[in-house]
Amino acid sequence: MKCRIDRSNCKIFLNFGKMPIANGFLKKKDFKSEYFFNLSVGFNEKLSLFQLKSNPHPKKMFNKNYPFYTSSSKYMVKHFKKFAQWIKNNFTKNKNFKILEIGSNDGTFLNNFKNYFHVGIEPSLSVHKVALINKINSKNKFFDQTSLKKYIKKKVFFDVIVGSNVICHIPNQNELIRNVKKILKEDGVFIFEEPYLGAMYKKISYDQIYDEHIYMFSASSISKIFQRYNFHLIDAIPQITHGGSMRYIIKRKKNENEKNLVNIFNYENKKKLNKIESCIEFKSNCETSKKKILDKIKSIKEKGGSICGYAATSKSTTILNYCNIGTNYIDYICDTTKEKIGKFSPGMHIPIKDMDHFHNNMKDFVYLFAWNHKDEIFNKETNFKGKWISHVEL
Ligand code: TYD
């Protein structure tokens, strides 16, 4: 396979097989026409870049019924408030400050910038509509040449362009960077947070790999990708969100003080995040993890135990389909999202139930699919007296 960014050779090292759309929760009548693609992963050592071989067309993933709402986690709402405050403290010095968010979802982040000139670009109609209700200046579009035309023509340049858990969704990174360049002020910053390759390796959280996550970035890969366009990674700040993410800060000019960045590069070199060896080790860890969780589930069932799932995350689609876990093991998955309730999980077709159902039908074991929201969930589910399980350490 050729790297999506520089076309150099990219070794495929991991194949999860046939996968449905991770957020494609569906009705029974749609089972027969469900869409599948092959989920396999390659690594380009030249750019240190972990990437999917192929992905469904973005319009198949980010459609009018997209069911992921950023505001579904109270912790994430707080996180974005803090993130916004950090931007205000560091980057709002210019008069007529302007900010644009790529993939602004339901407006959770931009809600903190209502008093500033702000633009949210959001291709999924469902979440965009909520942003409009929240009085966010949201545009129901993909971040591309067409959606930016107006700003380019009127010479509107932004001080900050931001994206959270969305930059890795964009297949054509070359085009993305070129577009950012067109609308970013000369001294502007491009800031984004994405799940971190190093954290995924450490936790063996291979459920971070699904159709939307076309890339799994590291500081090394981001630095190399952006250098191709004369942009510089000036800082990288680890975040605990989504099980371990990284905030990347990109500018046209290099920074004087790169101490923090040097430490991160050293960590990545030490962990061989730039080498195919770490990928091969990860592959083997995924296989062991699969065996371990299946052994655990089978043993619970053999002893007559019952299991349900908690949170119908997009991540769970990879686990359930790769490990072949269906209603033979898990009776239902509960979730707070109204668009998911009453439907079935992609591929394995486990029913999705509401939280009342969970509270009235508690099982002996609960598989926590939103392990990244563990604290928030444990704090509110104190009535559950059974055992929580997951493929990652809880
Ligand atoms: P998350 O791990 O943020 O997302 P992803 O889909 O990207 O893997 O999980 C979001 C889902 O978890 C969403 O469907 C709502 C659900 N959820 C609950 O049901 N209860 C909760 O307390 C939380 C925090 C999330």
Per-residue pLDDT of the chain (394 residues), as tens digits, is 999 999 999 999 999 999 999 999 999 999 999 999 999 999 999 999 999 999 999 888 888 888 899 999 999 999 999 999 999 999 988 889 999 999 999 999 999 999 999 999 999 999 999 999 999 999 999 999 999 999 999 999 999 999 999 999 999 999 999 999 999 999 999 999 999 999 999 999 999 999 999 999 999 999 999 999 999 999 999 999 999 999 999 999 887 778 899 999 999 999 999 999 999 999 999 999 999 999 999 999 999 999 999 999 999 999 999 999 999 999 999 999 999 999 999 999 999 999 999 999 999 999 999 999 999 999 999 999 999 999 999 9
51, 4 contact by CB (below 8 A): yes
Q: What is residue 245's predicted lDDT score, i.e. its pLDDT?
A: 98
The torsion of the CA quartet 265, 270, 274, 278, rounded to 10 degrees, works out to -150
Task: Please count the other Cβ atoms lying within 10 Å of the Cβ belonging to residue 93.
Answer: 8
Residue 372 Cβ inside 6 Å of ligand 1? The answer reads yes
Cβ(80)–Cβ(73) below 8 Å: no
Determine the atom of ligand 1 nearest the C-alpha atom of 69.
13
Specify the residue with its C-alpha closest to ligand 1, atom 23: 73
Ligand 1 contact, 92 CB (< 6 A): no
Question: Tokens 């002996």 identify what position?
Answer: 364
> What is the sign of the dihedral through the CA atoms of 271, 277, 279 and 283?
negative
Mutate-to-test residue for ligand 1 from 73, 203, 320, highest number of ligand atoms within 8 A of CB: 73
Question: For residues 370 and 79, what is the distance between their CA atoms, to the nearest angstrom?
Answer: 16
Q: Is there a contact between 239 and 320 (Cβ–Cβ < 8 Å)?
A: no
| pLDDT, position 65 | 85
How far apart are the CA of 372 and the centre of ligand 1, in A? 9
Question: Quick one: pLDDT at residue 306?
Answer: 98
CB 67 within 8 A of CB 127: no
Q: Residue with structure tokens 């000369």?
A: 186
- The reply to whether ligand 1 has any atom less than 6 angstroms from the CB of 210 is no
Cα dist from 125 to 67, 121, 185, 206, whole Å: 10, 11, 29, 29
| Interior angle at CA 363, CA 358 and CA 365, nearest 5 | 115
C-beta atoms surrounding 329 within 10 Å: 21
* CA 38 / ligand 1 centre spacing (Å): 25
- Residue 244 φ/ψ region, left for φ over 0, alpha for ψ in the -120 to 50 degree band, beta for the rest: left
Q: How far, in Å, is the centroid of ligand 1 from the Cα of 226? A: 31
Q: In what order do the strands lie in the sheet with 333-334?
A: 352-353, 333-334, 307-310, 365-368, 387-389
Q: How many residues does the chain have?
A: 394
Q: Which two tokens stand for residue 68?
A: 């992921």
Query: 69 in ligand 1 pocket by Cβ < 6 Å?
Result: no
pLDDT at site 91: 92
CA-based nearest residue to 40, from 81, 11, 63: 11
- How far apart are alpha carbons 288 and 285 in whole angstroms? 5
Is 313 close to ligand 1, i.e. is its CB under 6 Å away? yes
**Residue 165 Cβ < 6 Å to ligand 1:** no
Report pLDDT digits (tens) over 163-198. 999 999 999 999 999 999 999 999 999 999 999 999
What's CA 339's distance to the chain center, in Å?
19
- Among 23, 127, 208, 313, which residue has the most ligand 1 atoms within 8 Å of its CB, making it the best to mutate? 313
- For ligand 1, the distance from its centroid to the CA atom of residue 345, given in whole angstroms, is 14
**Per-residue pLDDT, 269:** 98
What is the value of pTM for the model shown? 0.96
| 350 DSSP 8-state letter | P
Alpha-helix residue ranges (DSSP H) falling in 216-313: 219-227, 259-270, 276-302
The answer to whether the CB of 68 is under 6 A from ligand 1 is yes
Indicate if the alpha-carbon torsion angle 382, 387, 388, 392 is positive or negative.
positive
